[in-house]
Amino acid sequence: MTAADLRFAATAFATAFTIIDPVGMIPLTLAATTGDSPAARRSIVNRAVVVAAAVILFMGLVGRRLLEYLGITLPAFTIAGGILLFLIAIDMLFARKTGVKRTDEEEREAAATENPAVFPLAVPMIAGPGTIATVLLLESLTHGYPARIAVLALAFAAALVATWLCMTAATTLLRIIGKTGIHVITRLLGIILAALAVQFVINGLADTPLLHGAA
């Protein structure tokens, strides 16, 4: 594996974990499953993670073709994706509810939903617009190399496993970490995501044909 592949692997894992934010799913899981028995909560969590994985896999498979069909260049999508991730990072740093994961209207609908596995846990809390944009962005950076595609799949698989573990043990982890601990971890992930977002924008600008032409 080359140095470039190692950098891509580090970026893929860091971005997958920060955008899904497994620890941040702990209070969201408890809020969405209030009143459910432990067995019912486990069933809901299992279904939510499976559905989210299916959504992420689907977008990973059709991402490149979708960009090509829409005529979107890689530099343009890299810059747009970086800006979107930076906005999410700002919300994470200030412990604000990000509309990229869920809106007030979606929260009201979720409260009236009997089984929150698909909505709102799977979509949009785990596989929301921010996650989908990240999948498309990273998939476009694989350039079709099988090794990078495998690394990307492994990165999101690992992030989903971590999310499943956090959601399954939400009650215990919340008692151990506490809400303050969750906010601290989320802010640390926000700093990492902000740096990654800026780097994506820089890379996109560096690859823009217009700038090369001006040089």
Residue 128 lies in a domain: yes
Least confident of 89-98, 116-125, 135-144, 171-180: 89-98
Least Cα distance to 151 among 13, 2, 3 occurs for 13
Q: Which two tokens stand for residue 74?
A: 């890689």
Please name the amino acid found at residue 21: D
DSSP code for 101: T
Q: Indicate whether 213 belongs to any domain.
A: no
Ramachandran bin of 115, using left for φ above 0, alpha for ψ from -120 to 50, beta for the remaining angles: beta
> What percentage of the chain exceeds 90 in pLDDT?
54
Distance CA 113, CA 186 (A): 27
pLDDT value at residue 198 = 94
11 is written with which tokens?
A: 């970026």
Residue 175 lies in a domain: yes
215 part of a folded domain = no
Quote the pLDDT of residue 215: 47
Q: Is residue 19 part of a domain?
A: yes
Q: Do 184 and 2 touch, CB atoms closer than 8 A?
A: no
pLDDT digits (tens, 9 = 90+) for 185-205: 989 999 999 999 999 999 989
Alpha helix segments (H runs only) across 71-145: 74-93, 104-111, 129-141
Alpha carbon distance 148, 152 (integer Å): 6
Domain that holds residue 54: 3-208
In a domain, 10, yes or no: yes
| Count of domains forming the chain | 1
Quick check: 58 pLDDT over 80? Answer: yes
Q: Is residue 89 part of a domain?
A: yes
Residue predicted with more confidence, 128 or 53? 53
Q: Which residues contact 118 (CB under 8 A, 6 or more apart)?
A: 47, 48, 51
In a domain, 214, yes or no: no
